[in-house]
Chains A and B, each alone.
Chain A
């Protein structure tokens, strides 16, 4: 079926409209990135968008390993961090020696450094996939993070190293002193690297990475060395992670041990998995969602990381495809024109489920407030309601909401499942 589709596509690609169709998503993305600062013009919005763009590049690079190559890395922050450190040093050298190296090209050098380091590490770590690769990546990650404290010359010790992006040579009168200039630089790099990663995944070597992921023995019998296929994926991923590091260096102008450690590596795994590893767009969704969560949710609650952790575990258990997987599940009902069947059961299940989640969240928030608020300060505000966190009634409401909502949602779940089966069946109703 896919073979037929691809020959169709190859035949159609010769016509101009097909070419347009193929590049349409990228043109739309470019226009979207171009006009985004018009809608969100405030400084904090620009900061968030920059952070989002960097995270997207990093998450896409990470997914080259996890999603496309089937390699789980617990130490991928190393390649982004090292690329970033290298870029800050380069930035300082450009300022000190007055080299003619425009700042917009810095991420490329970050990428090359990430690539070089990935080649060294990948040489022995890509021998096997799976658990062993994961363990080695963890060990290397911890090693580099620990070294960053010791090797002060390169990593700057505890306080890290900082640079100044405005000291580079000006081209077209841009000195990157303002946020908006940095935004367009970051957005351009995001677009270029995302497109490069997408088209990389469509090249024969990108396809081979999938083959090795799915069945390494079979790929070997076809004459491809699984180890070299993995090594190439690993190096490419290290390259793009290094680019993300370079963008980070330009944006924040400082890198510390935090950029290398296990927490950062774990976060990128979380982001990529939440977004979904099965589709190219997954990590993009994950990065946008997580950055929003990180910046918005943390304003409202101190225990947002607890929610993120719970969400992550539930995603792994129940939706291993992540958010993009969930989204693309609906393509088939849509093609069959049966999406409307799902509407009512969704409503019936999700309303009580939302109530249950709100009840649970309320319970946690009240418990946290009751335990941690200063003495005498018993009033708390939750969902625009202000009440006494030590009173019995709010607790009862939350528990009741959680139990009743949970019960109703469980009752409605079989209904949803039936509707789902029907929506996916070819038989006309």
Chain B
């Protein structure tokens, strides 16, 4: 039971982290129709910027400065890169963001090298807040939960209760009409792109110390984020939240419960083959839950796309 609670909390941290990325990604997608392949790269940039700033002035200023820097960078890339490619169509746009992801990874390796950075959580939060059945739960993870929930509430408030949010929502569905009403839609797009990437950057700053800051972090999380927004339904914020939490828990529970496939198979009534070393199904018999954990999100995505192509909460079929 204690393990369940710990896993629920850990999964919540993972899910909320995924949500910080997928929310920006899904907003950008529903607005511009472009899936930003480099979104996770901005998350990585956030972590590296946070690390670099923490070397000079400590963790806390980095929490503000790094996302702002990443957001500005994102806005500039939208203005001078993406908008240029936009006229060629959606596929070149996707290729552009893919190239950007490659380039950012190379640049990061060029500046910071290939090894993991010593980016640590601040000393203030480096203690166990509480323990459940002997498992200690670090204060930093609670901090991550609070930041993510806070960001979600602020985002929800801005999108549904303020004038800016109304313009954004209107621009999602009827950009031409909003433009004709006198709003600067390209500026709105640039703003949303900037805020989306800044959110990814913030996720990077807070995830860097706990998940590790290394050049592969973008590709590691990036494809999971795509899976998340496809599962949640492209363009749906609530869907992104639901899918993020679902996948966060899926990953955490799969990693911590060491269920052996052989036990499951014998429970169903199969008998293990005599010649285990030679049998052609031996991989099925030796399979364990932590092994298949990382591929569960992809299986989920393929199933969703076959059974319900518009995703869990999506309004239109993808």
Contact = CB atoms under 8 A, between A and B. Distances in A.
B35 A134 contact: yes
A70 B91 contact: yes
B99 A146 contact: no
A317 B96 contact: yes
B283 interface: yes
Interface in B290-306: 291-292, 294-295, 298-299, 301-302, 305-306
A269 interface: yes
B298 A142 contact: yes
A37 to B, nearest CB: 34
B102 A138 contact: no
Interface in A367-410: 368, 372
Nearest to A310: B103
A70 B110 CA distance: 34
Contact of B294 (A128, A146, A262): A146
A70 B95 CA distance: 12
Contacts of A312: 99, 102-103
Contacts of B33: 131
Interface in A129-145: 130-132, 134-136, 138-140, 142-143
A150 interface: yes
A372 B298 CA distance: 39
Nearest to A146: B295
Interface residues on B, range: 35 or more
A378 B158 CA distance: 54
A102 interface: no
A303 B110 contact: yes
Contact of B92 (A74, A124, A316): A316
A134 B107 CA distance: 25
Interface in B70-126: 81, 84-85, 88, 90-92, 94-96, 98-100, 102-103, 105-107, 109-110, 113
Nearest to A321: B88
Dominant SS among interface residues on chain B? helix
A72 B91 contact: yes
A299 interface: no
Contact of A316 (B99, B295, B306): B99
A131 B37 CA distance: 11
Contacts of B223: 138-139, 142, 262
Contacts of B95: 72, 269, 273, 316
A417 interface: no
Interface residues of A, number: 43
Given A135-B35, A262-B219, A143 B299 contact: yes
At the interface, is chain A mostly helix, strand, loop or mixed? helix
Given A134-B35, A306-B110, A146 B298 contact: yes
A313 B103 contact: yes
A135 B91 CA distance: 12
A320 interface: yes
B196 to A, nearest CB: 16
Contact of A306 (B84, B106, B283, B294): B106
Contacts, number: 117
Contacts of B21: none
B309 interface: yes
Given A316-B85, A317-B81, A309 B283 contact: no
A303 B106 contact: yes
A305 interface: yes
Q: Which of B33, B102, B106, B306 has the most CB of A within 10 A?
A: B102
A147 interface: yes
Central interface residue in A124, A132, A309, by most chain B CB within 10 Å: A309
Interface in A52-83: 66, 70, 72, 74
Contacts of A136: 301-302, 305
B102 A266 contact: yes
Contacts of A269: 95, 98
A132 B282 CA distance: 35
Interface in A247-275: 262, 266, 269-270, 273
Interface of A: 66, 70, 72, 74, 124-125, 127-128, 130-132, 134-136, 138-140, 142-143, 146-147, 150-153, 262, 266, 269-270, 273, 303, 305-306, 309-310, 312-313, 316-317, 320, 364, 368, 372
Given A134-B94, A153-B282, A303-B110, 18 more contacts: A72-B95, A128-B318, A131-B33, A132-B318, A136-B302, A139-B223, A142-B298, A143-B302, A146-B294, A150-B283, A150-B292, A152-B283, A153-B280, A262-B219, A309-B105, A312-B99, A316-B85, A317-B84
- Interface pairs A-B: 3 shortest CB-CB: A309-B103, A143-B298, A306-B106
Interface of B: 29, 33-35, 81, 84-85, 88, 90-92, 94-96, 98-100, 102-103, 105-107, 109-110, 113, 219, 223, 226-227, 230, 234, 280-283, 287, 291-292, 294-295, 298-299, 301-302, 305-306, 309, 318
